Amino acid sequence: MRKYEPLKTTYDRDDCHVLNLLNSFLYKGPYGNHFCMVFEILGVNLLEVLKRYDYKGLPLDLVKEITRQVLMGLDFLNRICRVIHTDLKPENVLLCLTPDEIRKIVEDGQLANKELYRDRLRLYRKKYHIGPDHET
Say how many C-beta atoms besides its own lie within 10 A of residue 117's C-beta: 21
Closest by CA to 117, choosing from 43, 39, 14, 59, is 39
Query: What whole-number distance in Å separates Cα of residue 112 and Cα of residue 117?
Result: 8
Catalytic residue (choose from 12, 87, 100, 108): 87
87 in active site: yes
Query: What whole-number distance in Å separates Cα of residue 129 and Cα of residue 123?
Result: 10
Query: What whole-number distance in Å separates Cα of residue 42 and Cα of residue 17?
Result: 12
Tell me the catalytic residues. 87
